[in-house]
Structure 1
Amino acid sequence: MRAVAGIAAFGLVLGVGACASDAEEKPATETRSVVHKLGTTEVPVDPERIVTVGYSDQDTLLAFAEVPVGVTDWYGDYPYATWPWAQDALGDAQPEVFNRGQFTGQANIAYEQIAALQPDLIMAQYIDVSSDAYSRLSEIAPTVTGSPDYPDFGMPWQESVRLVGDTLGQSDKAAELVSDVDAELTAQRQAHPEFEGKTVAVAEAGEPGSFWVRSPNDQRSRLLTSLGFVIPQQIADLAGDQDAFQISTEQLGMLDLDVLVWNTGSSVGTSDQVKAVPTYQALNVARDGRAIFVDDPIVSGALTWGTVLSLPFAIDALVPQLAEAASK
């Protein structure tokens, strides 16, 4: 699915915001300052009602054992917009789901539903939040968007974890979560020297006669480069700050690389459609069997989400296929 589809100053400053009147003084609310793409937000030290607006933001929050009261649906027909790799972390909770089955690639923030939940914190990372949207969300509750260091949909999962950790005052837990997954990636990279320096791209089928190529900034590509693969500079240049760009059938030659990953699991029959394209059949990567088709919808989802919870699932499923392709 297409979402267009280091950390700067994420230091913590503890403070106290007090609300008082001439008649009586109300209890102070302890806060911390969090710097993000659209400003600096004073967030409660111990938020109790968190809403996630980003398409995959619930995963990162759940990794901290914090269960949101509201989540945004991306795709996949799973209870409470929570995929299998995160269901244990969700437990018996039943968050409200915004925009069920309505993903179009454009931000469609459910302001009224969010306000009705009376959140005390809103996380909006994996979504494009305009200044106007940020203002509207901030009127509902303190809102934290993504890192100022990356384009929309381009923030690495590690930075997402660290930003959530900073927001929750759990930087040590964030470091532990990042270390655990990075250690698994490093172990797989060391176990598979055949990955090192091999060129790769992640592609997806679009409308008939068109295809999407994922940017090096996209989480799907970042998984592969973490394992030692390299995204060609041509793809980086064409993508720019976007998470993906579109090519025609005639341009498939740019995907004739050492390994090609087709992310096809979101729609039944997509792999067969790609394999039937004569231009694709003529590519060396296709003829030599160095293309991988990620048909399983859950594995495809884990690759697409690219979160601290989904990545271990994706790594286990994809590394054997990558090793086979890279060895040819």
Structure 2
Amino acid sequence: MVLLAGLLVLTGCGSAGTAPAPAAGGAVDHAAGRTEVPADAQRVVALDENAGLLLYELGKQPVEALGTFSSVGVKEILTQAGTPVEPADFAAPPVERVAALNPDLIVGSATPGAIEAYPRLSQVAPTVLAGYSDPWSKQLAVAGAAVNKADVAQQRTATLQTKIDDTRRELQERGIAGQSVSVLGSISGFPFALPSESSAGELITGLGLTRPKAQAPGAPMTEGGIAVSPERLSEHDADHILVLTGSMWSDKEITGLPTAGQLRGPKATVDGEQWTNTNPFAVDWMLRDMRAVLLNDGTVGTGADVVARWRQYSGAS
């Protein structure tokens, strides 16, 4: 199981960022350095599910993805699309297994384990690591440059950014802009809030919405989340309260607290796996949930919707 630190410390911005120069058999600047990549890699290995999903979005099927993040939903997407997902240690990528796949390119997220293993991975094949805490658009751009799909990355980025901009305008027109949104979760009895610096937090801010003071930028974090004291739960009250649920997230550990009455805003449960992720699909997922909660447009997604939502998002049949 991925620890809270693994899920949240790496979370980052959800807005557009500076993209690297596209490469066609040239050099790619990425989170671990600069790498010369092949012009048309045929055997690409994804070091984690996030990287695998980025590759699929770009139209490049990896021969295998490692289950570094223990992501149930993304694993289902990848396996149904024909890419096996093998268990892997978050702290230490299995370099020998990767080498046995005979890749001509390795693409992954810049987790601490991947950064540490980067020199050995680079001896196996050219390796590109996208910053997991980078804006979603930059992650997509780095992966696009690595597999000579920079044009696809730019198109996908423009499409998602337009959705975000359109929703922001609609919230303004409906008089909802400026309202506050609180995002709370609990794993194994540890209640926390998603920080403003997370991908979810950046999206909320980017839509012209606000956060409770206790979740404002710069709020102190523990293992990547803002620790929530049940006795001071009122500090996390908001106009809209989103509570994470799913395989390792317990919404009942928030709503069942004796002090839960301090949260007076309307509550909705949202999928913890997607709301703690940083890839473009997760940002689109969060945007759809926000539209459902704030604009009564559609429904909030659950883990059972992951494949259907991916097909809608990616345009896959």
The answer to whether the Cα contact below 8 Å between 2:22 and 2:144 also exists between their aligned partners in 1 is no
Residue 321 of structure 1 is matched in structure 2 by 293
SS at match of 2:291: helix
SS at match of 2:65: strand
The answer to whether the Cα contact below 8 Å between 1:72 and 1:81 also exists between their aligned partners in 2 is no
CA distance in 2, matches of 1:125, 1:239: 25
Structure 2 counterparts to residues 70-149 of structure 1, below 5 A = 70-73=64-67, 74-77=69-72, 81-83=75-77, 91=81, 93=82, 95-99=83-87, 106-125=90-109, 127-129=111-113, 131-147=115-131
Correspondence 1:10 to 2:20:
yes
Q: Tell me: CA distance 1:123–1:311, structure 2 relative to 1, closer, same or farther (3 Å).
A: same
Q: Tell me: CA distance 1:232–1:136, structure 2 relative to 1, closer, same or farther (3 Å).
A: farther
Percent of aligned pairs with the same amino acid: 22
Correspondence 1:223 to 2:223:
no
Structure 2 counterparts to residues 122-271 of structure 1, below 5 A = 122-125=106-109, 127-129=111-113, 131-147=115-131, 153-193=132-172, 194-208=175-189, 210-231=190-211, 234-235=214-215, 236-239=217-220, 243-267=224-248, 270-271=250-251
Residue 309 of structure 2 is matched in structure 1 by none
Residue ranges of structure 1 left out of the alignment (5+ in a row): 15-30, 148-152
CA distance in 2, matches of 1:202, 1:275: 13
In the alignment, residue 109 of structure 2 is paired with which amino acid? Answer: Q
Residue ranges of structure 2 left out of the alignment (5+ in a row): 8-15, 297-317
SS at match of 2:193: strand
In the alignment, residue 169 of structure 1 is paired with which amino acid? Answer: N
CA distance in 2, matches of 1:122, 1:111: 11
Deviation by residue 1:225-252 (Cα, 9 ceiling, x = unmatched): 2322234565321356974233332343
Q: Tell me: CA distance 1:75–1:176, structure 2 relative to 1, closer, same or farther (3 Å).
A: same
Residue 20 of structure 1 is matched in structure 2 by none
The answer to whether the Cα contact below 8 Å between 2:26 and 2:39 also exists between their aligned partners in 1 is yes
Greater CA drift, 126-135 or 49-58: 126-135
Q: Tell me: CA distance 1:52–1:125, structure 2 relative to 1, closer, same or farther (3 Å).
A: same
SS at match of 2:98: helix
Give the alignment's TM-score, normalised by structure 1. 0.74
Q: Tell me: CA distance 1:243–1:178, structure 2 relative to 1, closer, same or farther (3 Å).
A: farther
CA RMSD of aligned residues (A): 3.0
CA distance in 2, matches of 1:307, 1:9: 15
Q: Tell me: CA distance 1:41–1:172, structure 2 relative to 1, closer, same or farther (3 Å).
A: same
CA distance in 2, matches of 1:8, 1:227: 20
Please state how far the C-alpha of 1:66 moved relative to its aligned partner. Answer: 0.3
Please state how far the C-alpha of 1:63 moved relative to its aligned partner. Answer: 0.7
CA distance in 1, matches of 2:119, 2:71: 30
CA distance in 2, matches of 1:273, 1:242: 18
Give the alignment's TM-score, normalised by structure 2. 0.77
SS at match of 1:223: helix
Structure number, greater radius of gyration: 1
Deviation by residue 1:299-325 (Cα, 9 ceiling, x = unmatched): 54433334323443443344121346x
The answer to whether the Cα contact below 8 Å between 1:156 and 1:222 also exists between their aligned partners in 2 is no
The answer to whether the Cα contact below 8 Å between 1:10 and 1:166 also exists between their aligned partners in 2 is yes
Residue 26 of structure 1 is matched in structure 2 by none
Residue 28 of structure 1 is matched in structure 2 by none
SS at match of 1:278: coil
How many residues get paired?
A: 282
Q: Tell me: CA distance 1:232–1:137, structure 2 relative to 1, closer, same or farther (3 Å).
A: farther
The answer to whether the Cα contact below 8 Å between 2:26 and 2:37 also exists between their aligned partners in 1 is yes
